[in-house]
Structure 1
């Protein structure tokens, strides 16, 4: 990748899910020696790790991502079984949610989503909270950021994925129940090659050029009264580790429109430079990971989806 990179963010044509809505020009200088995270980041990461150490599971360690740097806001940081999230009170959606999957965590069966219920997060002040009734007849799915299918290793882990702080409004047919689900399956399949896969997922609100030539950010807000912002896009930052302490780390960044996407669309169409996700989200990723250790995920493995038939009728009944 050249130092000057045109990052193309694919976006929201309802017909194709791949029309271009924004072009970001970034000039990234070679990274200096890794800096220590700021004191707030150290505190947040430390608190998250302490909470996880009090939990019984040894299968996953989502706080392990923070060894590469802390992404950003520390407000409303929730540490739960199998995931850590940072919540945006303004949009009523998460800034990001971090998970960790391994071959062992995916193979262990102890939780079943039929025993889980969607929950409002009472750790967030009531006036800033996403509400269950906001989604009622909204036309959007309650879209998991950390999927329930990644957390079947215990019922507690499964239940943690059903808090609304792990949700965003997502287009259902053609996205959440289709292409996005295939993308989540791609992430799980990475564990056949990598013994440790860390994933950060979150929403984006990207500008669109209007007929007058000006760029504006516009998004729907659902609820009565209006409460939860509907993201225009979603990102995933994938960190695939080979299991060694100082070995290479395969990194992939993806941005997908919150819209119907045909299953024939190559996953590589949504690959973007990491700095594009950073500029669009206002977050920073992997600043403490030396460039020499970073490999491009889609140059290390083939990035494509496997189209599978999901039981959408059953899934829709729980949305």
Structure 2
């Protein structure tokens, strides 16, 4: 015998307030309007709301932890460009042996005035205007920043050379790269690349004149983040062998009190490109040409590296300066007397390696 309820269960309806489908749609619409107004008219209020929710429940970084974050790097690799840590830059002297106190009281004014603080004996030709720059024509777009000068090639949306003297005191100091962001170069009349051209391209925004060469001045370090000073570099290259070469250059500048640096990509027609707004050429090779002067001593060395990772020693990338000039069409240090220039630029790699790597 079974108990039979006096009411039918299949026709039972729960009493109380019940939301209809249209009502839910209206509530959701007003919820979105409220979010839009709450977040000051942002175009993506739902995303902003979700980020706040994640922060509250501990799934995302706090706003306090976001201070100093570089928006151009997200969501790309945290090391978007080669690190400029000086801790491994010198084999002959510890970095703390050269402190900022060794620099002139006003290093930026000193650099602008063209004075030398290295203490090395200068050749007469070093005192000529623009001695450190490669040859260029009046029609070329030459961009002069506080710490470096470059020649911008609009058809490739990057510089084909960046030149600057690098003194020992310039690689020490308290300038912080984490405070800086990549930005278009306002001094490029034809318009430089923009950070977004590199986004999700698979290539790093690779410094030509590295930020670590300007640690003594926050202003000069900031200018090193102009996009005119960037070139698309494979991550394994930028963070590997290229970084090692940058550190070696700083080591030599510290050891020798100062050197001249010219660096850039090997640009030619037909290179692949990246870019959402601009067609930025992806070079296959990069070079560095270095010059040391301490009259009567003078020496030069050149490196040519493929835009890919490598475990080979730096010495294996040494070539003659003549080789780099042939590949790039650039005339390096044209104000050196012809006979001496020819001797330096044709010196075999074995000889230049022995002169620099000791």
Q: Confirm whether residue 177 of structure 1 aligns to residue 239 of structure 2.
A: yes
**Greater RCO (Cα-Cα under 8 Å, separation 6 or more):** 1
Q: Confirm whether residue 101 of structure 1 aligns to residue 166 of structure 2.
A: yes
2:207 equivalent in structure 1: 144
Q: Secondary structure at the match of 2:253?
A: helix
CA distance in 2, matches of 1:130, 1:188: 27
Q: Secondary structure at the match of 2:276?
A: coil
- CA displacement 1:99-135 (0-9 Å, x = unmatched): 221222223x141111111110122245x43122111
Q: Please report the RMSD computed on the Cα atoms of aligned residues, expressed in angstroms.
A: 2.9
Q: Secondary structure at the match of 1:197?
A: strand
Structure showing the higher strand proportion among its residues: 1
Of 220, 228, 248, 1:157 maps to 220
Q: Confirm whether residue 187 of structure 1 aligns to residue 239 of structure 2.
A: no
**TM-score, normalization: structure 1?**
0.66
Q: Confirm whether residue 86 of structure 1 aligns to residue 135 of structure 2.
A: no
Q: What does 1:213-252 align with in structure 2 at a 5 Å threshold?
A: 218-224=270-276, 227-242=279-294, 244=295, 247-252=296-301
1:281 equivalent in structure 2: 328
1:299 equivalent in structure 2: 354
Contact kept in structure 2, 1:194 and 1:241, CA below 8 Å: no
1:113 equivalent in structure 2: 177
Q: CA deviation at 1:70?
A: 3.7
Q: What does 1:50-65 align with in structure 2 at a 5 Å threshold?
A: 55=112
Contact kept in structure 1, 2:176 and 2:215, CA below 8 Å: yes
Q: CA deviation at 1:64?
A: 7.2
Q: CA deviation at 1:69?
A: 6.5
Contact kept in structure 1, 2:132 and 2:260, CA below 8 Å: no
2:73 equivalent in structure 1: none
Contact kept in structure 1, 2:160 and 2:267, CA below 8 Å: no
Q: CA deviation at 1:299?
A: 2.8
Q: Give runs of ≥4 in structure 1 deviating > 3 Å.
A: 51-66, 290-297
Contact kept in structure 2, 1:219 and 1:230, CA below 8 Å: yes
2:12 equivalent in structure 1: none
1:259 equivalent in structure 2: 308
- Quick check: which has more Rg, 1 or 2? 2
Q: Which runs of 5+ in 2 are unaligned?
A: 1-107, 119-125
CA distance in 1, matches of 2:158, 2:117: 24
Contact kept in structure 1, 2:132 and 2:165, CA below 8 Å: no
Q: Secondary structure at the match of 1:137?
A: coil
- CA displacement 1:184-206 (0-9 Å, x = unmatched): 01101112431221110111146
